[in-house]
Amino acid sequence: MLAMSQPNDNIDLTESLREQVAAALKAGYRLIITGGRTKAFLAGAENDRGDASAVELDGSGHVGIVSYDPAELALTARAGTKLSIIEGILAENDQMLAFEPPHFGAEATLGGTVACGLSGPRRPFAGSARDSVLGCKLINGKGEVLSFGGQVMKNVAGFDLSRLMVGARGTLGVLLEVSLKVIPRPECETTLVFRMKPDEALSTMNRWCGQPWPWSALAYEDSWTFARLSGSEAALSSARQGLGGEPAADGPGFWFRLREQRGRFFQYPSLGERLWRLSMASATPTIDLPGHWLYDWGGAQRWLRSDAPPEAIFCAAAKAGGHAGLFRGGACHGRVRQPISAPQRVLHERLKAAFDPLGLFNPHCLRTWV
């Protein structure tokens, strides 16, 4: 195992953040946790700006690789560490993060990535951000420093509370450190393209997922199905012969633009002011909603550019057995996420009460996402 930082540095950085939490508890004000600010555009993230009762808690200075063991496929880093630094160190050892996280900017941090719980195109085949988390250290709403899980796979057993932090948007505590499992980089990758209609693309991608080809991403945009395969040269050669299709002109570029939302679909204002994210079973047929669609994760994650009323989108998603939420753009008067069931809400409220009983952290995210 490679120790990448000194223990005393870690104590000092942690104590500084803990003191800020203790001060907020004593004075009775709330805290908005920030880092690289690359995901501040997410729907609902702006609700508490201008709130005189909330103070920013900046965790971007809490940086450093705590430990990295290439042989154990595990890395632990402080939450303010940039994703680019982590991915660079992994690349030196021919390894990578399995869930291919979007950055949305050069300042993207590990803490923000875990807190937002976002995963890239590789997610259906290599696992989600939550699947990669082995353990974490955080400051709860009582000013206590808590640790959950472990730093390597063999030390993680039973129900792991650290995975509750993935997607919690900072509402349960201030992340200090996160331990992740990593995977080897594939020997080769190739992207094939196929011209299809939307329903044909969904049924084909769903059928492909049941076949033993080395898939690492499947998406559909603007009449074209994109299929990425990763593995040995021999495996990719066999897949190309069995699947047909044409090599993509810029496969790596397509997946990068999809992951970072830099392609035409995400950037052109004329396609609709609001960007909605819908999650559902990959085999779900096309949904009758006005707007422009892009399918990722083999059809399990669907992006919709539409100015349709939120209620119409929520209703259509629920009818299809899925869930919808506003990702960015457009005022919806607080209606940014499909309502959850009463039992789910009770569970969320109990978790919030256990970790942050006074509602200290990120109240804006609590109202719109929990």
Task: Name the least confident of 141-155, 192-206, 249-263.
Answer: 141-155
Beta bridge partners of 301: 279, 296
pLDDT of residue 367: 44
User: What are the E-state strand segments in 173-320?
Assistant: 174-181, 183-184, 188-195, 215-221, 224-231, 246-247, 275-279, 292-296, 301-305
Give the mean pLDDT of the chain: 90
Name all domains of the chain by residue range, CATH numbers in brackets: 2-184+349-369 (3.30.465.10), 188-260 (3.30.70), 264-328 (3.30.70)
- Rounded CA separation 21/57 (Å): 8
pLDDT of residue 155: 53
Would the pLDDT of 152 be above 70?
Answer: no
Q: What is the pTM of this model?
A: 0.91
* pLDDT (tens digit per residue) in 112-126: 999 999 999 999 999
* pLDDT (tens digit per residue) in 185-222: 999 999 999 999 999 999 999 999 999 999 999 999 99
pLDDT bin (cut points 50, 70, 90) of residue 355 is very high
* pLDDT (tens digit per residue) in 4-45: 554 445 567 899 999 999 999 999 999 999 999 999 888 765
pLDDT of residue 369: 38
* pLDDT (tens digit per residue) in 302-337: 999 999 999 999 999 999 999 999 999 876 656 788
